[in-house]
Amino acid sequence: MSKQDIFLSNIKLTERPPIIDVQVAVNVFLLHQAMGNKNNATVFILLGLSQNKEIEALCFVLFLFCYIALWMQNMLIIISITCTQLIDQPMYFFLNYLSLSDLCYTSTVTPKLMSDLLAERKIISYSNCMLQLFIIHFLGGIEIFILMGMAYDRYVAICRPLHYTVIMSRHRCNRIIIACCSGGFLHSASQSLLTIFLPFCGPNEIDHYFCDVYPLLKLACKDTRNVGLLVVVNSGLIALMTFMILMVSYVLILCTIRVYPAESRSKALSTCGCHITVVVLFFVPVLFIYIRPNRTFPADKVFALFYTIIAPMFNPLIYTLRNVEMKDAIRKIYGHQNCLGRKEVLCKPI
C-alpha cells in the first residue's frame, strides 16, 4: 500500500463518528420525543371575551339578564306543554325537548362565563375542560338533530296531512328523540377523542371563554392539521348537511302550501317562518366556525355567543309570540294558578 493510500484511509477513519456519539444522539432524540408527547398541562387559562374590566362588568350584567330570561322562558314552555294536552302533539313534544336541551346546553357555558367575568384569573382544570367540551358538543348535537326532527314533523304535517297521525305516532316520536341523543353522543365522543389524546406541553392560555376544539388544537405540541380536517368532517360537514336538509325541507313545504287556502297558508307560513328563523340563528355561526380548517379568529368568540346564549334565549320568544296554541296554554296555566290562589283566600277562616 502506498503512502497516499495510507493517508486517505486515516482521513476516513478520523471522519467516521464514534459509536458513542451516535448512541447519545439517539437517546437525546428519544428523550425529546417523550417530552414532546407528555401532557404537562393540568390547568388552562381562559382569556375570555375581553381584558377590559368595564366591558367585563357590562357583559356580566347583560349575560345575567339573558340567563335569567332564558330559564324563565324555557321553563314556562316546558311547564305549559307538559301540563296541558299540547304534549300529545308531535310539534310541541319536540319543542319541549328543544327547550330542555337549550337549558342544559346554555348552563354548560354561561355560569362559568359569568363567574370568570368577575374573576382575576379565569382558570379551568384539564379534566373539567375535557368534560365541558364533551357536554357542549353532546347537547349541541342533540339540538341540531331535534331541529331536524321538528322539520320532518312539519314536512309530514303539511305535505302528507292524511298520513300524519300514522307517521308521527308517539312511538315514532320517541324513537326520533332516542336517535337524536344517540347522534349527539356519537358526535361528541368522536370530537372528544380527537382532542383528549393530544399532548399539551407548552402555553396553556385558551383564547376563548369556554373549551372548544380549535382553540385547544392551537395549544397542542404536535402537528394538528390532520386532526383539524377530521374536526371539519365531524362538525362542519355535519352542520352543513343538516342545514341543507332543513332548507330543502322548508322549500318543499313552501312549494306545497301555495295551493292551500289563505288561512291555512298563513298558519303554515307562520310556523315555518319561526322554524327557519331558529335554524338560521343557530346554524350560520356554527358554520362560520366549524366549516373551515384548523384556524381561529378573534370574531369566533362573538359568533359563539349566538349559538351558546343568544339563540337559546330567543327560541322561546320565536316559538311563542306568534303561536296561538302556546299562548292559550300559558293562559290556562296562569289562569289555573290564579284560580287556586283565589280559592285559598276564600277558604281561609275569618
The β-bridge partners of 124 are 44
Nearest Cα residue to 241 out of 196, 204, 301, 286: 286
Query: What are the Cα distances from residue 273, in Å, to 99, 150, 269?
Result: 18, 13, 6
Given this model, what pLDDT does residue 17 score?
47
* pLDDT averages per 10-residue partition of the chain, 350 residues: 49 45 43 48 85 89 93 90 87 92 93 90 90 94 92 88 90 95 94 87 85 89 86 89 90 82 75 80 90 80 89 82 71 62 46
In whole angstroms, what is the distance from residue 98 CA to residue 82 CA?
Answer: 13
In whole angstroms, what is the distance from residue 252 CA to residue 247 CA?
Answer: 9
The CA angle 323-327-330, to the nearest 5 degrees, is 140
- Would you give the DSSP letter of residue 123? E
Q: Are strands 205-206 and 43-46 parallel, antiparallel or unpaired?
A: parallel
The β-bridge partners of 125 are 43
Given this model, what pLDDT does residue 40 score?
65
**Is the separation of the CB atoms in 313 and 69 below 8 Å?**
yes
Given this model, what pLDDT does residue 105 score?
93
Whole-model pTM?
A: 0.80
Helix (H, G, I), strand (E, B) or coil at 103: helix
**Is the separation of the CB atoms in 304 and 289 below 8 Å?**
yes
Residue 314: how many other CB atoms lie within 10 Å: 19
**Is the separation of the CB atoms in 98 and 297 below 8 Å?**
no
CB neighbour class for 88 (10 Å; exposed up to 12, middle 13-18, buried from 19): exposed
Domains of the chain: 59-347 (1.20.1070.10)
